[in-house]
Amino acid sequence: MSDETTSEKLTELAKRRGYFFQSSGAYGGVGGFYTFGPQGAALKGNLEDAWRERFALGEGNMEIDAPTIMPEPVFEASGHLAGFDDMLIECPECGTSTRADHLVEDNTDYEDAESLPIPEVEAVVAEYELACPECGAGLAGVAIEEFNLMFATSIGPGDSQPGYLRPETAQGIFVEFPRLKEYARNTLPFGVTQIGRAYRNEISPRRSIIRTREFTQAELELFVDPADDDPDLSAVADVPLTLYPASEQGADGSHLETTVGEAVADEVITDPWIAYFLGVSRTWYERVGVDMDRFRYRQHLAGERAHYAADCWDAESEIDGNWIEIAGFAHRGDYDLSKHGEHADERFTVFQQYDEPRTVERAVVDPEMSYLGPTFGGDAGAVVAALEELAETDPEAFDAETVTVAVGDDDHEIPVEQTGFALEEQTEAGEHVTPHVVEPSFGVDRTLYTVLHHAYSEDEVDGEERTYLALEPTVAPTFVGVFPLQRDDDLETEANTIAATLRERGLSVTYDSAGNIGRRYRRQDEVGTPFCVTVDYESLEDEAVTVRERDSTAQKRLPISDLAETFTALRSGSLSFDELEG
């Protein structure tokens, strides 16, 4: 074994074997942008299909495909324009911009500097005398600024409308909620998924495809009734979890080995929906090839948790001794739908019909316009709207002789007798509910990197060192390699026929006749192909072929007529290679 890290070896393999490489290399490359080659694109597609199968189809959720560019008002409502920032520190000598929290994490014992306020990060930079990673100049005393990560663009020509590339796929779901709820027949809970590109203008993209400026997310937004909807935990109660709760995150912190059911009962995980999706996702991650000995769920510290999230946990994988986030699980409350409801012209609520009509007391206003019109002029309509909202949210405000409402930057005082305030009994068939949102959000690129990193293996076969990717058959980009033993017309004809038959069954097949058979095996091992089929001269007589399994290099003789059915079962996981006779 060399002194290179697995990540360094994987980066070289990924470029050589067509998994991923930096984009625009002919023009010097651009930091934070990567192209997925033939193998990488296929692996990425297989991971997306596996995610869709489990979290969309498996959970009975809808899927949409929203635009990647959205108008500015969307991000004003969501809060991204005002608060989607990272900490930037700029070297006064060479001008290099660096993420200050990354600088601290890379050079100190602080693990989650992102959760610290800027003054504390500035103090750490000074205390440890941190320097610019590019030129080595000291950064103590340099001010840290907030840098918005949104990519701005213009929609249309001339005096165009400002827009932004979406920083997450979630907003495309939230803004379409008024229509999506109709597709769900106004029945809660219902979920909407989306797999697509997102964009963040990272200050310092790094570590290959782990932190990039363009990436793919797979997100589920589950809309639930906060009063009535709870998950059925029975299906995941016994799923084992490795947890890293906030209470354990310190110098001597340790992981907690438990189950979903125990974690909820012990109130380690306080939100049952988050517990449910941790259980579902843990099983899914294991299925696609994440090493469970190098996997955990870490709870957000109070300082890093979004202000609207009651609780949040990240799925993390270990890469060369470091933990990276590969998914987040948050209960977002009604923040998103309420914000869009305030800014847009649509209702972001669901009408929930009662089993029986109810008589309730409601506060209403019927303002005297002969007073409001002359008094407030053009603001009269806004004053009426403000009075109606105040009557609904705080009817006790009308107990005094006057009531005050805000319109824009101005406060207006109105005599209560002019508002027409009253309490009325009303019969209602139901109520409008603002759903709460439960969000599992997966980073597809980071999951792909984790799967490759955890699959990277080295051993020795027949006295030679071998590198191979122990990818799960369900996601491997190439499932089977088909080889004629030698370049011979009869062998090649039979091998091509077998390859065509397997492709017709929906299997990813590569055909290779170049070089000796050992080198062809090594090529496919390095790509991660689970099985290879070799057609030899005996095959022309006994109509059987040699099937080789990648990890063990074991070989079995199987009838050609059984190959399609056998490989289909091997790919689905309903059959293992050890169970084959041959």
**227 within a domain of the structure (yes/no):** no
pLDDT band at residue 306 under the 50/70/90 scheme = confident
**Which pLDDT belongs to residue 3?**
61
User: pLDDT tens across 49-64, in order?
Assistant: 999 999 999 999 999 9
**pLDDT tier for residue 409 given thresholds of 50, 70 and 90:** confident
Cα–Cα distance measured from residue 415 to residue 251, given in angstroms and rounded to the nearest whole number: 61
Quick check: 1 pLDDT over 50?
A: no
Residue 501 within a domain: yes
Domain assignment of residue 239, yes or no: no
pLDDT of the residue at 4: 82
Name, of 364-378, 422-436, 522-536, the range with top average pLDDT.
522-536
pLDDT tens digit string along 90-144? 999 999 999 999 999 999 988 788 889 999 999 999 999 999 999 999 999 999 9
Q: Are residues 429 and 492 in the same domain?
A: no
CA 457 to chain centroid: 27
Q: In this prediction, what percent of the chain has a pLDDT beyond 90? A: 86
Alpha-carbon torsion, ordered 27, 31, 32, 37, to 10 deg: 40
Cα(376)–Cα(419) distance, integer angstroms: 13
Tens digits of residue pLDDT in 519-577? 999 999 999 999 999 999 999 999 999 999 999 999 999 999 999 999 999 999 999 99
Q: Is the residue at 424 inside a domain? A: yes
pLDDT at 358: 87
The last residue of a domain, from among 433, 461, 496:
433
Could you tell me the pLDDT band of residue 84, with boundaries at 50, 70 and 90?
Answer: confident
| Interior angle at CA 95, CA 90 and CA 96, nearest 5 | 70
557: which 2 tokens? 């003789």
CA proximity to 51, closest of 298, 219, 292, 289: 219
Decide which of 94, 128, 148 is a domain's last residue. Answer: 148
Average pLDDT over residues 379-408: 93
Report the CATH number that the domain containing residue 543 is assigned in CATH: 3.40.50.800
Q: How many domains does the chain have?
A: 3
What is residue 307's predicted lDDT score, i.e. its pLDDT? 66
Could you tell me if residue 280 is inside a domain?
A: no
207-218 pLDDT per residue, tens: 899 999 999 999
425 and 494 inside one domain: no
Asked if 491 and 398 sit in the same domain, the reply is no
Token look-up 């988050």 returns 274
Give 380 or 159, the one with higher predicted confidence.
380
Does some domain include residue 191? no
CA neighbor of 277 nearest in space, from 257, 258, 260, 255: 260
9-31 pLDDT per residue, tens: 999 999 999 999 999 999 999 99
3-state secondary structure 102-125: HHHHHHCCCCCHHHCCHHHHHHHH
Distances (CA, A) of 444 to 211, 212, 406, 478: 12, 12, 46, 19
pLDDT of residue 465: 94
- How high does pLDDT run on average in the chain? 94
pLDDT at 356: 87
pLDDT at 489 over 90: yes
Q: Which of 94, 127, 148 is the last residue of a domain?
A: 148
Per-residue pLDDT tens for 244-298? Answer: 999 999 777 899 999 999 999 999 999 999 999 999 999 999 999 999 999 999 9
The residue segments making up the domain with residue 387 are 356-433
Structure tokens at 168: 């997450």
Assess if residue 564 is contained within a domain: yes
- Let me know whether 482 and 575 are in one domain: yes
Please, which pLDDT band fits residue 180 given cuts at 50, 70 and 90? very high
Percent of the chain at pLDDT exceeding 70: 99
Is 161 contained in some domain?
no
Residues 421 and 496 in one domain: no
